[in-house]
Amino acid sequence: MKQRGISFIGTGSALPSKMLVNQDLGHLVDTNDEWIRSRTGIKTRHLASENESLSDLAFQAGLKALAMAKMDPSELDLIILATSTADDLFGSAAQVQGLLGATGAVAFDLSAACSGFIFALATASQFIRSGVYEKVLIIGADILSRWVDWSDRTTCVLFGDGAGALVCTATEKEDNFLGFDLNTDGTQNHCLNLPYKGKTKYLIHDVSIRQGSYAPIQMNGREVYRFAVAKVPEVIERVLLQVNLTTKDIDWLILHQANQRILEAVAKKLNILDEKVVTNLSHYGNTSAASIPIAFDEAVRKGKIKKGDLIATAGFGAGLSWGGAILKWG
Ligand code: UT7
């Protein structure tokens, strides 16, 4: 049986309306614009306010991607929401499905931190290839500002909120999803996490339960930096080898937008010219699972990424987890 192909036909993104500039952060912690810009490349970030929910941002991004794809929400078979910051610990994908009116779609959350979008893309591809589903909406969305310790200068300057989306569909004509490679190293989990931190409550005798919330984001920045610069070029090289291509064939490199220095170091290791590296980090900071689809959407809407362009993409972050994929737009 001929393998079903996959094509990519719509992108969308949504950002909260409020922005925080580097200078504002100087009022919260001992930091300054010069440090943040030179060490990370970030100038501003958007932060969700009280009345902006994760589901709503994901819904807005999804709606725009569907409009570009000229697809009615009712046509969707599957919605995968990559997020680590759902409004509801049981998951937010169902709410997004409801908001979209995607009555024919099953929806679920996928949690793989900043690698979430790549993991969701790989998952969606399996459903399409196997013939189970045809029309899939992948959304990467996060509101990490809810979980940042706003008194910790080593993390609070880095993150922003947002959502991005991609519509994929089965096709017999062509196959624009060339390959992927996913990885996890749980032994390094301590380098970046957002752990449960409940308070013990004694119910009766020695029976206790744990109640409460999560500790804020904890990160060993230097370790994660080293990990990213080592693993991301490796994973991209591996996928390229799998599909018989080389870095010379790549039109665009879309990496998880964590740090401008990481983007440059990865591109240099791969011998990819700076002008092929898609970057929007200075405006949005690190938006976790949303960063790749937001960057993708902007590059498509600006006309930079054109039909048939070959894109190498990779995500990395908590888990630790990392993954890469090679695809063609269109
Ligand atoms: O999305 C998940 C993946 N996450 C990442 O990819 C993050 C990877 N890591 C990084 O991007 C970088 O490690 C950071 C941007 C987090 C930090 O940059 P760095 O160049 O690795 O800085 P550092 O941690 O080595 O700190 C250098 C100095 C330290 O001071 P001393 O010890 O040299 O006196 C820090 O205390 O900078 C200090 N510092 C700051 N100074 C002003 C740390 N944060 C700040 C700050 N403002 N916000």
Q: Please indicate, yes or no, whether residues 267 and 142 belong to a single structural domain of this protein.
A: no
Q: Please indicate, yes or no, whether residues 44 and 163 belong to a single structural domain of this protein.
A: yes
In a domain, 147, yes or no: yes
Strand-pairing partners, residue 161, are 143
Q: Ligand 1 center to residue 203 CA distance, Å?
A: 43
Strand-pairing partners, residue 180, are 325
Quick check: 190 pLDDT over 80? yes
- 321-328, strands of its sheet edge to edge: 177-184, 321-328, 310-317, 252-255
As a whole-number percent, the residues of the chain with pLDDT over 70 amount to 99
Per-residue confidence (pLDDT) for residue 119, from 0 to 100? 98
Q: Name the pLDDT band for 206 (thresholds 50, 70, 90).
A: confident
Strand-pairing partners, residue 78, are 106, 136
In a domain, 204, yes or no: no
Amino acid at 87: D
In a domain, 79, yes or no: yes
Q: Which domain holds residue 29?
A: 5-175
Per-residue confidence (pLDDT) for residue 143, from 0 to 100? 98
Instruction: Read off the pTM.
Output: 0.97
Q: Please indicate, yes or no, whether residues 131 and 183 belong to a single structural domain of this protein.
A: no
What gap in Å lies between CA 125 and CA 171, rounded to an integer? Answer: 12
Please provide the average confidence, as pLDDT, over all residues in the chain: 97
Active site residues: 114, 256, 286
pLDDT tens across 70-111, in order? Answer: 999 999 999 999 999 999 999 999 999 999 999 999 999 999
Q: Please indicate, yes or no, whether residues 93 and 148 belong to a single structural domain of this protein.
A: yes
Q: Is the CB of 42 under 6 A from ligand 1?
A: no
Query: Do residues 76 and 166 lie in contact, with contact meaning Cβ atoms separated by under 8 Å?
Result: no
Q: Name the pLDDT band for 205 (thresholds 50, 70, 90).
A: confident
Quick check: 1 pLDDT over 50? no
Q: Please indicate, yes or no, whether residues 166 and 256 belong to a single structural domain of this protein.
A: no
Per-residue confidence (pLDDT) for residue 87, from 0 to 100? 97
Q: Please indicate, yes or no, whether residues 170 and 284 belong to a single structural domain of this protein.
A: no
CATH number at residue 309: 3.40.47.10
Per-residue confidence (pLDDT) for residue 2, from 0 to 100? 55
Q: Is the CB of 224 under 6 A from ligand 1?
A: yes
In a domain, 193, yes or no: no
In a domain, 200, yes or no: no
What gap in Å lies between CA 305 and CA 288, rounded to an integer? Answer: 22
Measured torsion, CA atoms of residues 290, 87, 223, 241, in degrees rounded to the nearest 10: -40
Minimum CA distance residue for ligand 1 atom 14? 221
Task: Tally the domains of the chain.
Answer: 2
Minimum CA distance residue for ligand 1 atom 23? 222
